[in-house]
Structure 1
């Protein structure tokens, strides 16, 4: 009980410090009611969806990108049940950040068996777009999907993870690709990485056919597809696809030189962990694990660059980072200093949100703002 108490204290302190760095500028905008006409129209759209979550937005043509928001059903239903409007749903999102921090620390500590790595690893995630989104991501609500995915990973042994997976899928279908990493995570917790060098049949048996998490994710995806078909037939809810709708393979590269900023901002230096782990798995000839791990990352990359908001989309790859920490715990690789370095760089570097143009979310921007003012 005392251990859980200290986890709560640590999570709240991290949340307060993080919010002190990032949140003042955001709350200032909310208090001053400094909304653009686009902001107001989006708020009205969300409020309408909260009132009638399953009613398609017929004011827009079928191929319009805005229609894609029709299927962010989870936050709309949540707001409907608890009588929240679009802004209160956003504030709830902010208050859920300590929950994300708690699950992140618990998962990393459980698999790495290193309290310091679990703390700084969470900080490294927090100061990428994944963490920033809880305070910044107004009216998109991707943070609800990020939280759902990390909770599903935590409960990978239980069928309750199906609920959180479906909740994430119905925030955004981009959640499906990273969720496929959960069976690999679960499989590697039951046997060592070195055992994957056994014959293909044995490895397949351990990672797939006799891996409960594989079937959990598989069933979740099937249920999601089934519900989506029902929604399409009964409510005409679907995801627009094509260049006109803002969903097309490689579409994100229309931003050209801005793309590196977006890719960096999605996870910042956590991307180095994913890439270096990919090379490590290939070098050690853990080919099945490498194929699975790299394949999910490539799938997330293709999905992430198929839309304009590349930063938000690529952030879904954050779930792969937990597999990295699991491998660290198994291999006893000495990476503590590297994790500390990543956390420090992530804190000090700005995040760039990309949707038609770059918007910089910089740590300590409030300090710069007041320095220039006074």
Structure 2
């Protein structure tokens, strides 16, 4: 780590943010904020949950759809689980959707539909961890909590030319970020430092010439900005295998089953199938002449790759399944399914 010649001045970053803040559907920009408009904690919370492990570009349409359909936390608390899970399909990490509902209902029932306005109150809610609690407290309530996401980690590693590899570097990067968090306009500052990482201090080609903190950046001085942050080598992801059974009744209804609440895709509707492992066991959900498609449905989760053998069958009206339920063709929408299930369905259409 190199010593900084001049400590970074948060006011310089805020001046840059006032001119260059990104426009987002959940954000109250610096001009509106200066005029006394406060962010809606519900919208801040919703955006932060959606943005976990997902890009801003991918989230915008989902955010607008959710907040149009369920404009308040009270509306969301009263929503049907299946409707929320279907609306979430495609965002991945379905535990977040389940926690979204749990949190909304706790806020509605235990807090009269009002989000707690402290870090401790927020982190006690379902699905809200240290980062999310800090982000909501800072952005929605203008509290001087330290927000540390991937963008901020990169900015801090470069400012201090710290070559400690992630994830081991997280504690010291948090110390750097905490020391810079100001008491004045902390909510705008939190968004400013995230914007800086997203638009200027980018992973591969940082635009150092445009950075308001360039003169304070030890990595820019040392010529090491492109190398940082260092990361520990990733472990190779294992591959798991499974079988997906796509049975269609002669009237066009599809056989689906609801997955267990716990585990991946918990609570979601999907195709009946085998367990996912090294050697899946045949377990068809209904008696039929099954045909194996030549292509597999492949998908990558956080910790493993999945390869699904897809089997299809046409079954008569009077045959009952051993598990699952038939969904009538006028109510079946493949877009309501998780991504890996949509991939399996697409193979039946020759896509």
State the TM-score, normalized to the length of structure 1: 0.25
Between structures 1 and 2, the one with greater helix share: 1
- More strand per residue: 2
**Higher RCO (CA 8 Å, separation ≥ 6 residues):** 1
Q: Give the TM-score normalised by the residue count of structure 2.
A: 0.26
Whichever of the two has the greater Rg, that structure is: 2
